[in-house]
Structure 1
Amino acid sequence: ERFLVGQGFLGEDELEQHLPQQNLRIFIATWNMNGKKDLPERLDDFLFPLGAESAQDLYVIGVQEGCPYRQEWEYHLQLTLGHRYVLLHSAAHGVLYLSLFIRRDLVGFCSEVECATVTTRFFPMIKTKGAVAASFTFFGTSFLFINAHFAAGDSKVKQRIQNYEKIIKNLQLPKNVPDTNPIYSDPDDATSRFDEVFWFGDFNFRLSKSRSEVDSILENLPENDMRSLLQYDQLSEEVTKGSIFKGFKEGEIHFRPTYRFNIGSDDYDTSKKQRTPSYTDRVMYKSRHQDDIHVLKYGSCSLMRQSDHKPVFGLFTVWIKPGSNNIPSTV
């Protein structure tokens, strides 16, 4: 087994050469694809929502209810990103997919990537809800990325919190790659064992208002000011209570609810069910060290109309520290 040697190959000189200011630029995206097969040839609207000049160093893409063929999905991702990026790791839990693409010149500074899954279904063989996660160390900074799909239903707040608790307690990571700072580790909290954690997905939390009330608020919303809606957001309420995502943060939401749309349009659900528009799709993050993670942009990909959900993305910078230990290499 190959190892990366911290003081040389992963030292400050190499880090500064490849990442000025020691900042890694990360694109995180979550999308409930609704099982759709008809993918556009290129995914520029998804991967470059601010334009091609906003290309990042690392792309982490989580989907729920993924299209039938994961390899086809990742082919479209690779085609759009181009030859400067390589697929660092790919993992799945049923129809939950997690794909990590990184700049080709940075692959050699990554440890081996480890992955794990947790099912939240009563019957484990049904893999439509739960989580798929991947972790690795880059130079001297450890990362954990979790893509999750929680229980659906307007009133299922308690079940969603239980999903979160089951995942955080049962996610078996890291495996072989050593914790960079084990003094912080909690055996009952997988997220405590990494420097930087991003947890994203279709968490299924809803707005606690009727469809007509939400429609009325949406009609009168000032542009980019969602506060009058977010006061009814179930997830925000539970985070404030401390019942979920303890220690996590979220970028400011200046986009409209990302669920539920008529497929192929920007109109909210006009079916008989008339589902209430909600912020089901989210990106949460936390760090062991204050100010390591900075949010550059948090938004939705409004031009993606293939599903009843709009994708949600976050652009982040993460401060990277040089390596100091031998870690299993990805190459």
Structure 2
Amino acid sequence: MTWQRQMSEWMKRRNEGLVLLTKTYQMTNQVTVFVRRKLLPSIRRVRFRFSRNTMGGLTGHKGSIGIKISLYNETSIVFVDSHFVHDVVAYEKRIAQFHSNEVCCFPEDSEVKAIFWLGDLNFRVEKEPNQVMELIRSKNIHSLLDTDEQLKRAIRMKEAFVGFEEQAISFLPTYRFYVGTTEYDLKRTPSWCDRVLYKGSIISPVSYISNQEVLISDHLPVQAVFDIKIANLPITSWDILFEHLPTWYTTVPLIGRFQILNNYWTSRGSYLDWIGVYPSTIDDCTSPLRWVWIATCSEQVFENQRYIVCEFGLLQEGTYRLGYFSHYNNCLIGLSKSFKVIEQPTE
């Protein structure tokens, strides 16, 4: 089972109303974004940017992924996930990588009000492993962060991440461990390679910890919690309005109808748009159970109203929804109410 599938299943079991809004990857790096289901109509557009730094920019094992989520109140939130160059002596290369990857923050967009930059930034502590272990045992890690930690120095000297902040670090270095344990591998100096930085006046930090229960890597993951104050988020209507579906039978191919509103097709429509059948919980917006291209749909006029008709095959018993995924917006712009599919009664 993939990491993304495991995360989705874990979120589903927690039953907190979170759905996978979007996901993307670059080589070995993947980003998944979950949102509360009730917020889906407030999301206007999702965009990606990529920056590659391996083999002269040919591949992206080292590099960054930027995701911009635009809301209907002219506010955008950006997440940048990075894997920077490794090795303690590669400080200048990491600084250069930051500047070349800064484009992933969408700096030209004035609607961006919050940026989170996270990942294996690979900045190191400039001390010998035994010296660091001595300070860890004496619970004196703050002296390392204040004087010998490269990322703190880069921010202090304004060499990188100007304007970004970081919550106070109270956890031990997150690298390097023997896989499956919390024992440091002292072939490398223990360092805080894994970080979460943020930028934006609407962000309020809540917590910042490492997770010592996930031991399948030589890194420990970190997790950060923030509050974001978003004012005047309007109540919006979907660009696609689905006709309510009655209870359907498993023996009848599913047929749905919808209308295109708000001049969507003229301004942003694409024949790469598609309509999907989802479980009613919509656990993953990007992965419907079945889907058809908008280009395969037909038109129908009923009582002077123009409808688009989409046809699917037979469905098993269950509760479903139909969703319209926009190629331009890169997100759902229409969602039907739940409907049931049942076995047809026998006479």
- 2:43 counterpart of 1:110: yes
Query: Who is 1:146 aligned against?
Result: 80
CA distance in 2, matches of 1:133, 1:256: 28
CA distance in 1, matches of 2:4, 2:79: 20
CA distance in 2, matches of 1:85, 1:117: 26
Query: Who is 1:305 aligned against?
Result: 215
Of 153, 162, 176, which aligns to 1:237?
Answer: 153
- 2:119 counterpart of 1:215: no
Local SS of the residue matching 1:155: helix
CA distance in 2, matches of 1:314, 1:159: 26
Of 228, 233, 237, which aligns to 1:318?
Answer: 228
Query: Who is 2:143 aligned against?
Result: 228
* CA offset digits 1:145-177 (Å, max 9, x no partner): 0000000001100000111111114x384xxxx
Does structure 2 retain, via aligned residues, the 8 Å contact 1:139–1:321? Answer: no
Query: Who is 2:203 aligned against?
Result: 293
Query: Who is 2:117 aligned against?
Result: 199
Q: Which runs of 4+ in 1 moved over 3 A?
A: 69-83, 323-330
TM-score normalised by length of structure 2: 0.64
1:209–1:81 distance in 2 versus 1, CA, 3 Å: same
Local SS of the residue matching 1:228: helix
Local SS of the residue matching 2:86: coil
Structure 2's unaligned 5+ residue stretches are 237-261, 265-328, 334-347
Local SS of the residue matching 2:51: strand
CA distance in 1, matches of 2:191, 2:124: 5
Deviation at 1:78, TM superposition (A): 3.6
Alignment of structure 1 residues 14-53 onto 2, 5 Å:
none
CA distance in 2, matches of 1:309, 1:111: 36
Query: Hey, which of these two has a bigger chunk of strand by percent?
Result: 2
Instruction: Flag the structure with more relative contact order, 1 or 2, with Cα contacts below 8 A and sequence separation at least 6.
Output: 1
Structure 1's unaligned 5+ residue stretches are 1-38, 40-68, 174-185
Does structure 2 retain, via aligned residues, the 8 Å contact 1:145–1:197? Answer: yes
Query: Who is 1:283 aligned against?
Result: 196
1:142–1:103 distance in 2 versus 1, CA, 3 Å: same
Of 118, 130, 135, which aligns to 2:63?
Answer: 130
What residue identity is the alignment partner of 1:214?
A: V
Deviation at 1:193, TM superposition (A): 5.7
CA distance in 1, matches of 2:130, 2:3: 38
Deviation at 1:111, TM superposition (A): 1.4
Of 32, 52, 56, which aligns to 1:119?
Answer: 52
CA distance in 2, matches of 1:312, 1:75: 19
Identity of aligned pairs, percent?
A: 28
Does structure 1 retain, via aligned residues, the 8 Å contact 2:125–2:189? Answer: yes
Query: Who is 1:86 aligned against?
Result: 19
Deviation at 1:122, TM superposition (A): 2.8
Does structure 2 retain, via aligned residues, the 8 Å contact 1:255–1:299? Answer: yes
Does structure 1 retain, via aligned residues, the 8 Å contact 2:12–2:18? Answer: no
CA distance in 2, matches of 1:216, 1:118: 38
Query: Who is 1:32 aligned against?
Result: none
Does structure 1 retain, via aligned residues, the 8 Å contact 2:211–2:220? Answer: yes
CA distance in 1, matches of 2:209, 2:61: 25
Does structure 1 retain, via aligned residues, the 8 Å contact 2:203–2:226? Answer: yes
CA distance in 1, matches of 2:194, 2:158: 20
Q: Return the index of the structure with the highest Cα Rg.
A: 2
Does structure 2 retain, via aligned residues, the 8 Å contact 1:113–1:330? Answer: no
CA distance in 1, matches of 2:79, 2:192: 20
What residue identity is the alignment partner of 2:143?
A: S
What residue identity is the alignment partner of 2:42?
A: F
CA distance in 1, matches of 2:7, 2:55: 30
- 2:100 counterpart of 1:166: yes
* CA offset digits 1:1-23 (Å, max 9, x no partner): xxxxxxxxxxxxxxxxxxxxxxx
* CA offset digits 1:21-48 (Å, max 9, x no partner): xxxxxxxxxxxxxxxxxx8xxxxxxxxx
Does structure 2 retain, via aligned residues, the 8 Å contact 1:111–1:137? Answer: yes
* CA offset digits 1:205-252 (Å, max 9, x no partner): 000110111011111016xxx312212111001100000001000000
CA distance in 2, matches of 1:258, 1:228: 17
1:238–1:80 distance in 2 versus 1, CA, 3 Å: farther
1:77–1:243 distance in 2 versus 1, CA, 3 Å: farther
Of 233, 240, 246, which aligns to 2:162?
Answer: 246
Alignment of structure 1 residues 166-185 onto 2, 5 Å:
166-169=100-103, 171=104, 173=106
Does structure 1 retain, via aligned residues, the 8 Å contact 2:4–2:32? Answer: no
CA distance in 1, matches of 2:132, 2:15: 41
